[in-house]
Structure 1
Amino acid sequence: MEKKIKVMMVDDEPRFRETASKLLKKKGFETTIAGSGEEAIAILGTKPQDVVLLDVKMEGMDGHTTLAQIKKIAPKTQVIMLTGHGTSDSAASSRKLEAFDYLTKPCDIDILAMKINEAFAVGQPGVAQAEKKVKDIMTQIDDYSTVHLNTTIREAIEKLMGCMTNLASSNLIRESAQRSLFVFDDKKNFIGMLSVKDIIKGARPSYLSLPKSQMADSVRFSHVFTGGWDGLFTIQLKALAEKKISELVLESPPLIDENANLMEVAELLFKTKKTSLIVTSGKRVVGILREQNLFFEIVNIVTR
């Protein structure tokens, strides 16, 4: 028989905790209720729980204080915060105190059940420890070439070509890593990445990128006369080559901490619709994580 997940509902509103407890029992959980933080701590001393659903705003010992106490006496117990008055500061405090999640009321019972199952699964011995972090699957910054913001496009192109030539002549396979250069300023602050795509974009006449306005309207038929563009790419590229990288508008991939977990990676890639993330350690850029890095880890996970 499958073990039931033990869930304690901690809330100072009797009606809410009773209703939530009944609904969770119907979902197959073994539930216990507590009307205060103090009562929850007392129960945990004699009746261990797998997951605690903890109200943030309660009389007496509030949710954050209760969370801190729970983590002292039962560090392996996962805690999901529930609140009708969620704030970013409260959520940040809960995360710092190692809460599993922070949900706002009213919370759909199916979502709550899924979160409980997730919390229980992550809390099992070896599960969280076995999963790699960003720093374990990223490509180190040392595998990339860097350039200064005041470097000319010509020099950057030559550096990119050198990287590609070295890569082609070696036995290393680094999934198009060297089609981009890391760009830094005088203070070694990361500015962005210069890619082949940026060079192609820079070679286009600027009016082609104008928003729809009176000026843009004036060239709206130009695409019909592309025969007049013969030689234009060469002219534009020659002019671009003498410019500095600082004159281009570089788009930097989103940032992610080296200690972030893989679900954070997946969510950020999905939400931003990007294919790579810049990895940081504190304020330092230490590498890049591309979707290929994540895919290789997906293969490792499903085949091991």
Structure 2
Amino acid sequence: MVGKIRVLMVDDEEQFRATTSKILSRKGYETTMAESGEEALKILKKSKHDVVVLDIKMPGMDGREALMEIKKISPDTKVIMLTGHGGKDSAKETLVLGAYDYLNKPCDINLLSLKINDAYMSGKEKKKAREKKAGDILIHLEDYTLIDMESNVKDAFEKLLETYGALRVSSRVMETGHRSLLVIDSNNEIVGVVSLTDMIEEIRPDYLKMSKPSTADSMQFSHMFWTGLFTSQVKILAQKKVKDIMSESPPSMDENTNLMEVADFMYSQNVRRVLVTSDEMVIGVVREQELFFEMANIIL
């Protein structure tokens, strides 16, 4: 995050405003909500905002009209337009009117966050913006789910389910959940990771992992062989300790590492996530998803 960016979200859908406000605030933005173009103009006359996220289609003053008035009141404020299905042409027209960029709804909150950051930085940097580093796209450690290594795997399932249950989704914004947990020891040091892959691997009985004579193949794939096996193995898994099934701790990279270096490392080492450090202290995580959203931000 590049400082406390002040964002004004303008949309007539109440659920969208409430949902987005909570998510963006949690990501470190200072957010203000407006339900109409008219209300947005009143807010901007009283207080300056760095970025406005503006819905094109609203009752009363629509997004195009609001955009033109915003540029009169605050020419330096960057405006990102939100458009529904089939509204791409009208969104492109707003670029001529001074909009910084646009996104189609429903938009992923991570992509929206990247657009907000870019819009903010474009107003601060007159020369070509520097290429982003690992620290610019990470998920902060406090936003990632942690679990103690002595916990039962059942606890790990509950924590993972909580990340999905806590997802706030409206018709216009989406948030993705975590597919893994960082494992910590009694000193709160990261010692491993538990992923969905680890859980699936662990429910396979040891004898399925061993090489078998060819005569066993017909029995292995029979209906009787598999019946009840999944349920019984999952119940056994639930009672195991997290430390018994976790993978080793993800490798770490400095926050100033170039994203191309991060991408090359993750591909060549076949890892799906890396820890990001600052002065050798872990401050966050970069996953495949973060690289994907940054790629999408560049392309779209």
TM-score (norm 1): 0.50
Secondary structure of the residue aligned to 1:167 is coil
- Partners of 2:173 and 2:192 lie apart in 1 by 25
Judged with a 3 Å threshold, the aligned counterparts in structure 2 of structure 1 residues 202 and 172 are, in CA distance, closer, same or farther, namely farther
Which residue of structure 2 aligns with residue 189 of structure 1? Answer: 189
By relative contact order (CA 8 Å, sep 6+), the higher-ranking structure is 2
Which residue of structure 2 aligns with residue 202 of structure 1? Answer: 202
Secondary structure of the residue aligned to 1:237 is helix
Q: 2:253 aligns with which of 252, 256, 260?
A: 256
Which residue of structure 2 aligns with residue 138 of structure 1? Answer: 138
Secondary structure of the residue aligned to 1:191 is strand
Judged with a 3 Å threshold, the aligned counterparts in structure 2 of structure 1 residues 301 and 228 are, in CA distance, closer, same or farther, namely closer
1:164 Cα deviation from its structure 2 partner: 0.9
- Partners of 2:191 and 2:209 lie apart in 1 by 22
Task: Kindly provide the CA deviation profile for residues 70-95 of structure 1, in whole angstroms up to 9, marking residues without a partner as x.
Answer: xxxxxxxxxxxxxxxxxxxxxxxxxx
Secondary structure of the residue aligned to 1:130 is coil
- Partners of 2:132 and 2:152 lie apart in 1 by 39
- Partners of 2:215 and 2:199 lie apart in 1 by 23
Percent identical residues: 38
**Alignment RMSD, CA only?**
2.7
CA contact (8 A) 2:167 2:176 kept: no
Is residue 295 of structure 1 aligned with residue 260 of structure 2? no
Judged with a 3 Å threshold, the aligned counterparts in structure 2 of structure 1 residues 249 and 182 are, in CA distance, closer, same or farther, namely closer
Which residue of structure 2 aligns with residue 265 of structure 1? Answer: 262
Which residue of structure 1 aligns with residue 161 of structure 2? Answer: 161
- Partners of 1:161 and 1:126 lie apart in 2 by 45
- What residue identity is the alignment partner of 2:289? Q
Task: Kindly provide the CA deviation profile for residues 83-120 of structure 1, in whole angstroms up to 9, marking residues without a partner as x.
Answer: xxxxxxxxxxxxxxxxxxxxxxxxxxxxxxxxxxxxxx
Judged with a 3 Å threshold, the aligned counterparts in structure 2 of structure 1 residues 249 and 137 are, in CA distance, closer, same or farther, namely closer
Secondary structure of the residue aligned to 1:181 is strand
- Partners of 1:281 and 1:201 lie apart in 2 by 33
Task: Kindly provide the CA deviation profile for residues 138-192 of structure 1, in whole angstroms up to 9, marking residues without a partner as x.
Answer: 111222211000000111111111221111567864433x221111011222122
CA contact (8 A) 2:148 2:184 kept: yes
Secondary structure of the residue aligned to 1:187 is coil
1:218 Cα deviation from its structure 2 partner: 8.4
Q: 1:278 aligns with which of 275, 280, 297?
A: 275
Structure 1 unmatched ranges of 5 or more? 1-124
Q: 2:228 aligns with which of 207, 228, 231?
A: 231
- Partners of 1:147 and 1:188 lie apart in 2 by 10
Which residue of structure 2 aligns with residue 175 of structure 1? Answer: 176
Secondary structure of the residue aligned to 1:204 is coil
Which residue of structure 1 aligns with residue 241 of structure 2? Answer: 244
CA contact (8 A) 2:184 2:191 kept: yes
Judged with a 3 Å threshold, the aligned counterparts in structure 2 of structure 1 residues 165 and 190 are, in CA distance, closer, same or farther, namely same
| Bigger-Rg structure (1/2) | 1
- What residue identity is the alignment partner of 1:200? I
1:246 Cα deviation from its structure 2 partner: 1.2
Judged with a 3 Å threshold, the aligned counterparts in structure 2 of structure 1 residues 200 and 166 are, in CA distance, closer, same or farther, namely same
Secondary structure of the residue aligned to 2:166 is helix
- What residue identity is the alignment partner of 1:276? R
Aligned residues: 173
